[in-house]
Homo-oligomer: A and B are copies of this chain.
Amino acid sequence: MLAYDDLLAFERQTQALAAIAGRLGWDQETMMPQGAANQRGEELAAIEAVLHARRTDPQVGEWLAAIDATTLDDVQKASIRLIRRDFDRSSKVPADLATELARVTSLSHRKWAAARAADDFDGFAPTLAHVLKLKRQEAQALAVGGDLYDALLDTYEPGARAADVASMFDALRPRLVALADRVLGASHQPAVLNKDFDEDKQIAISREIASAFGYDFAHGRIDKAVHPFSSGSGADVRITTRTSLSDPFNCIYSTIHETGHGSYEQHVDPAYALTPLGGGASMGVHESQSRIYENQLGRSRAFTSHLHARMRALFGDFGVADAESFFHTVNRVSPGFIRTEADELHYNLHIMLRFDLERALIAGDLAVSDLPEAWNNRFEADFGVKVDRPSNGVLQDVHWSAGLFGYFPTYTLGNVYAGCLNQVMRRDLPDLDSRLADGDTSAATGWLRENLQRHGSLREPKDTITQACGTPPTVEPLLSYLETKFTDLYRL
């Protein structure tokens, strides 16, 4: 066991250093003085260099070779599986390429932000082509002859394959498009908010709701950030939100979403802290938690009736008189251009568009110069609306400029997983709605904690969902949930 113990001690220190790097990222988005950006860049580069050296340290390979797997229990086997995976992947990418990717994506982020502000895709195209070229090289190094896109997808959703995701998405897309069409054909218009909402009160109710959803402020905190995110694991998991004077739901549902991410990290078995098992299993599984908190729980008729009463108590009358109208307001369906503002129906259509386009880019079947036209054509087909400008289309998301090819599908995988979990959870908790109507989410969050969150990365992502649900994930529960909810809501 000597090699195992040494390896885990080394890994523990690496995890602690990675946690520090994460904390710097949090600080950058919440606390850092504006003039410190360049210095912070050097700090992040320094700690990333330390982390890269540790991840590819030949000593790790020697420890891995020296470990006798037959002496390990299941938890130990899982740790070794994840360390080996990380070591193999890190070792496959040449150091020069890794450095070049870090440098180019750091620069391209600023160029993307400038291009989006100027609605100038052509000016950004050479940069995107450069990032794409490097990511294809990385994919070739990782794939070793296998599918390039799978190699990138594996970064965010270990074990997932693009072909499986594609067939899942093929089953989703026509029924979502059809459902969206029916909803948009209905005449119902939600009530309009008739006042501004004090931003300190928005933060106050967000804190109240985060607590109600089981977020533990003794091991976390909420701050404001331009783009809400969750950060950290174990004993220090911080979330962020944002406020808008005219739209309190942006703040409230961002908070519930990030509470899902943060609670998942907070609820992993403390015995796994600072080991490879100590965080969420994948981006997809993470998103399943943020989405089920936000949508299946937070936008349910039962919970919104509670939220409506709390908001009336806090803000007074705001133009939405009854709970049913309020339920409509927070579930408004609209074919907007922007993914991050999309409703439950359109969100997945946004993702499938990006998934198909980035697969084609990585496969070499689509040139960067042809990307805007491909985007716009697909958007019109699925949303029935023409894209008016690049910032409302191909330039809206940061992901590709940051080299995050393979990331997008995990959002919809998360929605699919959330659909599966919701179905089983509601079978196990028949009186859930009556509790949610009182603002009590503890039965739901307790169920998720017990069946999924506490296991962290013990199992592969898909196995994590299968274990929690009793059967492997399919798209049917999500479709059924959406069709029932919106057919009922819009009286279709």
Q: Interface residues, chain A, CB within 8 Å of chain B?
A: 12-13, 16-17, 19-20, 23-24, 27, 31-36, 38-40, 42-43, 45-47, 49-50, 216-221, 234-236, 238, 273-274
Find out whether the CB atom of B17 lies under 8 angstroms from the CB atom of A236: no
Residue of B nearest to A274 (CB): B42
| Min C-beta distance of A469 to chain B, whole Å | 31
On chain B, the residues within 8 Å of A38 by CB distance are: 235
Q: Considering the complex of A and B, which 5 residue pairs feature the smallest CB-CB distances, nearest first?
A: A36-B236, A16-B46, A35-B218, A39-B235, A35-B219
Find out whether the CB atom of A19 lies under 8 angstroms from the CB atom of B39: yes
Bound-complex Cα distance A46 to B274 (A) = 11
Find out whether the CB atom of B31 lies under 8 angstroms from the CB atom of A16: no
On chain B, the residues within 8 Å of A218 by CB distance are: 33-35
Bound-complex Cα distance A47 to B47 (A) = 9
Find out whether the CB atom of A42 lies under 8 angstroms from the CB atom of B236: no
Find out whether the CB atom of B43 lies under 8 angstroms from the CB atom of A219: no
Bound-complex Cα distance A49 to B235 (A) = 21
Find out whether the CB atom of B27 lies under 8 angstroms from the CB atom of A43: no
Other-chain residue from B46, B220, B221 in contact with A20 (beta carbon distance below 8 A): B46
Other-chain residue from B13, B35, B45, B217 in contact with A49 (beta carbon distance below 8 A): B13
On chain B, the residues within 8 Å of A46 by CB distance are: 13, 16-17, 20
For the complex with contacts A17-B43, A33-B219, A35-B219, 11 further pairs of A-B residues with Cβ separation under 8 Å are A12-B42, A16-B46, A19-B43, A23-B43, A31-B221, A32-B236, A33-B235, A33-B236, A35-B218, A35-B236, A39-B234
Bound-complex Cα distance A242 to B32 (A) = 20
Find out whether the CB atom of A35 lies under 8 angstroms from the CB atom of B235: yes
Could you pull out 11 A-B pairs where Cβ atoms are within 8 angstroms?
Answer: A12-B42, A16-B45, A17-B43, A19-B43, A23-B27, A32-B236, A33-B218, A35-B219, A35-B236, A39-B236, A50-B50
Residue of B nearest to A21 (CB): B20
On chain B, the residues within 8 Å of A33 by CB distance are: 217-221, 235-236, 238
| Min C-beta distance of A55 to chain B, whole Å | 14
Find out whether the CB atom of B274 lies under 8 angstroms from the CB atom of A35: no
Q: In the complex this chain forms, how many copies of it are found?
A: 2
Bound-complex Cα distance A221 to B20 (A) = 21
| Min C-beta distance of A48 to chain B, whole Å | 11
Bound-complex Cα distance A307 to B31 (A) = 29
Residue of B nearest to A12 (CB): B42
On chain B, the residues within 8 Å of A31 by CB distance are: 31, 221
Find out whether the CB atom of B32 lies under 8 angstroms from the CB atom of A47: no
**Which of A12, A42, A45 is most buried by chain B, counting CB atoms within 10 A of its CB?**
A42
Residue of B nearest to A216 (CB): B35
Bound-complex Cα distance A274 to B36 (A) = 13
On chain B, the residues within 8 Å of A274 by CB distance are: 39, 42
Bound-complex Cα distance A13 to B16 (A) = 18
Other-chain residue from B42, B49, B235 in contact with A36 (beta carbon distance below 8 A): B235
Other-chain residue from B13, B40, B47 in contact with A236 (beta carbon distance below 8 A): B40
Bound-complex Cα distance A235 to B37 (A) = 8
**Which of A32, A235, A273 is most buried by chain B, counting CB atoms within 10 A of its CB?**
A235
On chain B, the residues within 8 Å of A45 by CB distance are: 16
| Min C-beta distance of A218 to chain B, whole Å | 4
| Min C-beta distance of A229 to chain B, whole Å | 16
On chain B, the residues within 8 Å of A24 by CB distance are: 20, 23
Bound-complex Cα distance A12 to B41 (A) = 13
On chain B, the residues within 8 Å of A217 by CB distance are: 33
| Min C-beta distance of A169 to chain B, whole Å | 39
Bound-complex Cα distance A46 to B12 (A) = 9
**Which of A16, A219, A221, A274 is most buried by chain B, counting CB atoms within 10 A of its CB?**
A16
Bound-complex Cα distance A239 to B45 (A) = 25
On chain B, the residues within 8 Å of A235 by CB distance are: 33, 35-36, 38-39
Find out whether the CB atom of A20 lies under 8 angstroms from the CB atom of B39: no
Find out whether the CB atom of B36 lies under 8 angstroms from the CB atom of A20: no
On chain B, the residues within 8 Å of A17 by CB distance are: 43, 46-47, 50
**Which of A13, A43, A218, A274 is most buried by chain B, counting CB atoms within 10 A of its CB?**
A43
Residue of B nearest to A273 (CB): B39
Residue of B nearest to A36 (CB): B236
Bound-complex Cα distance A13 to B46 (A) = 5
Bound-complex Cα distance A16 to B49 (A) = 11
